[in-house]
Amino acid sequence: MKLNICSFNIRIDVESDGNNAWEFRKNKVANFILKNDFDVIGFQEVNPSMHQSLIDELKNYETFGTPRSENNELNPIFIKKNIFKVIDSNTYWLTRTPHTPSVIEGSHYPRIATYVVVEDKNGDMLTFFNTHFDYANDKIGLKQAKYFYKELKKVEKEYKSSIIVTGDFNQIPDSKTMRYLNKKLNWVYDIREHVGLTFHGFTDEVEGFPIDYILFSKDFILRSFVIGQHSGKNDFLSDHYPIFAHLEKEK
C-alpha cells in the first residue's frame, strides 16, 4: 500500500485577514490539493462554510468530521473516493469524557480528533486520525496528547488497524507533547536535522521549528516528505505551510 498524505491547517475564515481571508485563498487551496492528487488530507481550522467550499471543489473526495461545538471548527478528513471501503468514523473530545462535548481546564477551546477506519483492497485495516491541539502551553498539550492517544489505542485494538495521524499539535518536536507521541508513533521529522517551520503567519519566514505533523504506526515506511512552502511573496495558501508525505506499508 502506497499513500500520498497531506496535513494542512488552512486558517479559519477571518475577515480581518484582508487579502489573506479565506475568500481569496479557497480556490488556491483546492487547486493545490487537486494538483498534488493526495489520497488523504487532514485539514485543521475549518468552519462549516469553509468545509462546504472544500466539498464543492474536491468532488473526488469523501469527507468525515463533526464540529467541536455547534457551528464551530472541525478537523475534517478528506479521502479519495473508490480506494477504500469505509468501515467506521467518529469524532471525540480530548478530555476525560471523550464522547461528550467538553474542554479541559487551561485549554482556550474545546479540542477534538476525528478518525476514519477503512479497509483497503487487500483487506488490510487502516485508521486515519486528524486533530488540532490547543496552543496554551506544553503542559496542556501533553494532557491532550494522552487523551488523544488513549482513544487511538482503543480504535487500533478494536479494528486491528494500522495508523496514520495528521494534525496541528501547536508544539515543536522537542516538546514533552511531541516526545510523548513520538515514543508511540513514528513521524516525518527527525529532530536531529533542521527541517524549518510550518507556521509562518502570512510571512515569507521559513526558519524555525514545525508544529504540524504526520505520524504513523511502525508498519509504514516513510518514502518522502515535503513542507510545501508557497510559490512567491504574498501568494499564501494559509498561515501554515502544508506538509505532505509518501508512506508505504511494509508487506
Domain residues of the chain, as ranges? 2-249
Q: Judge contact between 149 and 177, C-beta under 8 A.
A: no
Q: Can you give the pLDDT at residue 232?
A: 59
Q: Is 229 exposed, middle or buried (0-12, 13-18, 19+ CB in 10 A)?
A: middle
Please tell me the distance from the alpha carbon of residue 150 to that of residue 14, in angstroms, as a whole number: 33
Q: Can you give the pLDDT at residue 218?
A: 95
CATH topology for 2-249?
Deoxyribonuclease I; Chain A (3.60.10)
φ and ψ of 57, to 5 deg: -90, -30
Please tell me the distance from the alpha carbon of residue 51 to that of residue 63, in angstroms, as a whole number: 9
DSSP state at residue 74: B
**Mean pLDDT, consecutive 10-residue segments, the chain of 251 residues?**
97 94 96 97 98 98 96 96 97 98 97 98 96 98 99 98 99 97 93 80 91 97 88 80 94 70
Please tell me the distance from the alpha carbon of residue 250 to that of residue 128, in angstroms, as a whole number: 17
Q: Can you give the pLDDT at residue 235?
A: 81
C-alpha cell of residue 246: 509518501
The gap between the terminal CA atoms of the chain, to the nearest Å, is 8
Q: Can you give the pLDDT at residue 81?
A: 96
Residue 63 CB partners (closer than 8 Å, separation 6+): 51, 54, 55, 76, 77, 78, 79
Q: Can you give the pLDDT at residue 47?
A: 96
Q: Judge contact between 209 and 138, C-beta under 8 A.
A: no
Q: Are strands 77-80 and 85-93 parallel, antiparallel or unpaired?
A: unpaired
Please tell me the distance from the alpha carbon of residue 87 to that of residue 51, in angstroms, as a whole number: 22
Q: What is the pTM of this model?
A: 0.96
DSSP state at residue 199: B
